[in-house]
Amino acid sequence: MLTLESVAYRYAGASRTSLRDIDLSVADAEVVGVVGASESGKTTLALVASGLAPRSIGGQLDGRLLIDGEDMSGRPMHELAARVGICFQNPFTQLSQVADTVFEEVAFGALNLGVDRLDVVRRTSEALDGLGIGDLAARDPRRLSGGQVQLVALAGLLAMRPRHLVLDEPTAQLDPEGKQLVGDALAGLAAAGTGLLITEHDTDLLARLCSRVVALDSGGITLSGTPAAVLADPRLDELGVEPPARIRLQRAVDAAGLKIELPA
Amino acid sequence: MTAAAAVVLGGVFWPLMIVAVAVLLPAAAAGVLPTLLRYSILFSLPLAVSALVVNLFFYPGGQTVLFQLGPITATAEGFAFAVEILARIAALSGAITLFYLTTKPSELVLDLERRGVPPRLAFVVNASVQTVPAMAERAQTIVDAQRARGLDTQGGLFNRLRGIVPIVGPVMLGSIAEVEERSMVLEARAFTRPGRRSLLWSPPDDGVQRLARWGLAAGLLVVIGARAVGAL
Amino acid sequence: MTGTAIECHGLVFDYPGGVRALDGVDLVIRAGERVAIVGQNGSGKTTLVRHFNGLLRPTRGDVIVGGHDTRQTRIAQLAAQVALAFQDPDRQIFAGSVEAEVSFGPRNLGLRGSDLQQAVTSALESVGLSGERRTNPYDLGYSRRKLLTIASVLAMRTRAIVFDEPTTGQDARGVRTLRAIVDRLAAEGRTVICVSHDLRFVAESFERVVVMRQGRIILDASPDVVFAESNEDALRSTNLQPPYAARVGAQLGLGSTYTDRALVHALQLHTRS
């Protein structure tokens, strides 16, 4: 269980807070989606949930980050790294640049944790197979497509065996093929029991994966509930969020006065 | 070590021998001889040319005249000296190029780390080297993007100078922004954990390599010694 | 204002190293047309549009932009006719302020004084960054930086504009802004060309869709034809799927419903009959 308790956060040198009054938790095997306009605080939320804010980037954090009931304040980043993994939207900046093969790239994090060499090999193979990219193991990570690189990054996180994963707009910079790849992979992860916190613009993806969705506006949570409820909420439009395609289309049909129900 | 030996040894013969043995032979064995020749010649050309010209015409105490070019004279002594210098340059650039061509950065770094170099330092070395091709590709895209906005890169010198900021700017800024993100990613992969990291594998270090290393070091000592006592 | 016309005849392009990116492209874009170019990664879309301002020159065949053969015209000159907005804003932004960044393009094209001011102001307004003139571009988030690069290109006031994946990384508001921009450019008679994998955006804003695969054009028609059920296989061969509205329409047997509006319209007709 990953919990944010009364969290507020201000970036170093910033005049206003980027997050306020955040109470949010992600249980094991739960998938929580976060929507909101650009600059509503989604990325900041991801950084705080993973511990990078304030440990890596400074800034002021009020409130607590709790993992399995333990307060993480004062714990160093490498301890958090073993418990919460974070995946960013740009696949390529997540490559370590020091790995010639996908296998070494995926092993990178686990090696940093000082895990025994044989264990690392086992974890890496499992991570690769779990995401269906075992056949990419010998390839040069820098020559892969965006979607593939994103999967490599995910595998690298999984090899560290975190109980929770935070993903900040993981498909935003991918083409439809990549989005499909990553979407399927995330669905698999959720089914396997990892707790996921996903921020996204792509509400279709969230509708498919999440058990719960929250909406952020100017750093605060304004809506929270099931995907069916939140993603169909008319207030999403003011928040700059596009509802899933089916809902959008249904609304257009309803607005034209037609009493037709579109297929799922 | 090859380079050091070349400099220490006097004359022409010995540096050239070194080039042959310690540079060309291994290059041929590694299959990189043509590339090596191309790169090291290109690499050392400006230096070699200027060394030749300077010494040919301006060697102090040059007496035996070879030919005359207007007010300046080419001397045989100057030429001889120039050739010595060229031999050393050849050895130096050959050695450096050989190292660059035959060493995989990742192997080098892994080996360094195994021998106790702090992982963060090793990483910086490795990542910096690997970043070069990525940066070059990035720089090309930036040049294209600015040209698409009318930046004239084909005009006169002044025009090209004006183009520096719009090109260097994004290269630097983008790199800095990227560095910020990359360092977050590294921290999220526990890179800052104190203590040793595990290593997946060690680069092979067989008998031949070890022999060559010790042989080179010993050879250098011998050469220095011989030079010191005036034997060479 | 008449837009610029662009023609490609038998265009073949090989990258150094031998990879053939374009394998005989024949394309005529008329002045003032709104054309979207779609296709999978590696189909040649980006390579193609880089020929429109001379960044790339044909290996064989020719490219004529506004009557000029690109092989004989300098890029700086072609840029005065065709402005190209790149996909990654961070490979372009260099100035310390939004204003300076947007001024770069038009300045290169010779705009000064009040003309320059007007071009910059109008461009900033179109993308919603009027209030950020003095802001450092890197203080803006990714999607607004992208809008900044669009503004930089709009300010050049060229008769043709090419966008390379403008919607990637944008939120709903950003996409709406882009749609409005495309509409306005078209209303002004400028030629608008867009490489995109967002097929809904394409269906709703463009009158012509060029589908590419492995360096060739496999389909070139209006969106209602391209996204019709009969072309689903062709699209799939280049890893594309028609927009959601089209798929629903196909499922309900309503013919080609390439946009939300087309679907609603088709349903209305259907219920009346």
Residues A22 and A70 in one domain: yes
Does the predicted interface ipTM exceed a cut of 0.90? no
Tell me the percentage of chain C whose pLDDT exceeds 70.
99
Q: Count the domains in chain A.
A: 2
The residues that bridge with A224 in the sheet, in sequence order, are: A214
Residues A109 and A170 in one domain: no
**Are C174 and A260 inside 8 Å of each other by CB?**
no
Model confidence pLDDT, tens digit, residues C166-218: 999 888 889 999 999 999 999 999 999 999 999 999 999 999 999 999 999 99
C155 touches B: beta carbon within 8 Å: no
Residues A97 and A46 in one domain: no
Residues A140 and A12 in one domain: no
Half-sphere exposure of A125 (CA within 13 A, CB side): 5
Does residue C238 carry a pLDDT above 60? yes
Give the residue with greater pLDDT, C154 vs B166.
Answer: C154
Residues A132 and A16 in one domain: no
pLDDT at A87: 95
**How many Cβ contacts (< 8 angstroms) between chains A and B?**
93
pLDDT at B4: 53
* Within-domain flag for A98: yes
Boundary-marking domain end, from A161, A191, A210 = A161
Does residue B115 carry a pLDDT above 80? no
Residues A176 and A229 in one domain: yes
Residues A182 and A78 in one domain: yes
Give dist(CA A96, CA A220) in Å, integer: 34
Q: Where are the alpha helices (DSSP H) in chain C?
A: 45-49, 75-79, 98-108, 113-127, 142-154, 172-187, 199-205, 223-226, 232-237, 244-251, 260-272
Do A127 and A110 touch, CB atoms closer than 8 A?
no
> How confident is residue C58, by pLDDT bands cut at 50, 70 and 90?
very high
Identity of the residue numbered C244? Y
Q: Note the maximum CA span of chain A.
A: 65
Do A49 and A199 touch, CB atoms closer than 8 A?
no
Boundary-marking domain end, from A161, A191, A206 = A161
* Within-domain flag for A21: yes
Q: Compute CA distances C65 → C29, C35, C53, C69, C73, whole Å.
A: 10, 15, 8, 6, 10
* Within-domain flag for A31: yes
Handedness of CA B194, B195, B197, B203 (dihedral sign): positive
Both tokens of C142, joined, read 């990714």
Give the residue with greater pLDDT, A146 vs B115.
Answer: A146
| Poorest-pLDDT segment among B1-10, B185-194, C97-106 | B1-10
pLDDT at B11: 47
B199 touches C: beta carbon within 8 Å: no
Residues A123 and A228 in one domain: no
For residues B38-44, average pLDDT: 74
* Within-domain flag for A211: yes
The residues that bridge with C211 in the sheet, in sequence order, are: C38, C219
Q: Which residues of chain A have pLDDT under 70?
A: 264
Residues A34 and A127 in one domain: no
For residues C110-127, average pLDDT: 95
Distance to chain C for B151, nearest Cα, Å:
6
The radius of gyration computed from the CA coordinates of chain A, to the nearest angstrom, equals 19
- Strands (DSSP E) contained in chain B are 65-69, 72-75
Burial label for C9, CB within 10 Å (0-12, 13-18, 19+), is middle
Residues A60 and A114 in one domain: no
Boundary-marking domain end, from A140, A161, A182 = A161
CATH number at residue A204: 3.40.50.300
* Within-domain flag for A41: yes
Peptide bond into A141 cis (omega under 30): no
Distance to chain C for A70, nearest Cα, Å:
33
Q: Which chains touch B (3 or more CB pairs under 8 A)?
A: A, C
**Are B193 and A113 inside 8 Å of each other by CB?**
yes
For residues C40-69, average pLDDT: 93
**Are C267 and A253 inside 8 Å of each other by CB?**
yes
Judged by DSSP in three states, B35 sits in helix
* Within-domain flag for A263: no
**Are A85 and B188 inside 8 Å of each other by CB?**
yes
| Poorest-pLDDT segment among B39-53, C14-28, C100-114, C208-222 | B39-53
Number of H helices, E strands in chain B: 10, 2
Both tokens of B91, joined, read 């050895």
pLDDT at B50: 83
pLDDT at C203: 96
In terms of residue numbers, what domain contains A243? Answer: 2-83+162-255
Q: Which residues of A touch B (CB under 8 A)?
A: 47, 50, 52, 55-57, 76-78, 81-82, 85-86, 88, 90, 93-94, 96-100, 104, 107-117, 120-121, 142, 156-157, 160
Does residue B97 carry a pLDDT above 80? no
Q: What does residue B157 show for φ and ψ, rounded to 5 degrees?
A: -60, -45
Q: Compute CA distances C268 → A75, C53, C76, C255, whole Å.
A: 61, 45, 51, 13
Q: Do β-strands C68-69 and A84-87 pair in parallel, antiparallel, or remain unpaired?
A: unpaired
Q: How far is CA A226 from the centre of its chain?
A: 18
Residues A168 and A249 in one domain: yes
A72-78 CB contacts, 8 Å cutoff, 24+ apart:
A75/A51, A76/B192, A77/A51, A77/A52, A77/B187, A77/B188, A77/B190, A77/B192, A78/A112, A78/A113, A78/B187, A78/B190, A78/B191, A78/B192, A78/B193, A78/B194
Q: How far is CA C212 from the centre of its chain?
A: 14
B93 touches A: beta carbon within 8 Å: no
Selection from B37-41, B99-103, C118-122 with the highest mean pLDDT: C118-122
Burial label for C231, CB within 10 Å (0-12, 13-18, 19+), is buried
| Pick from C40, C173, C260: CB nearest A240 | C173
* Within-domain flag for A38: yes
Identity of the residue numbered C210? V
Selection from A222-236, B123-137, B168-182 with the highest mean pLDDT: A222-236
Domain borders along chain B are 2-102, 107-188
Per the prediction, chain B carries an average pLDDT of 74
Residues A155 and A166 in one domain: no
Instruction: Residue C170: list chain A partners with CB under 8 A.
Output: 38, 201
* Within-domain flag for A262: no
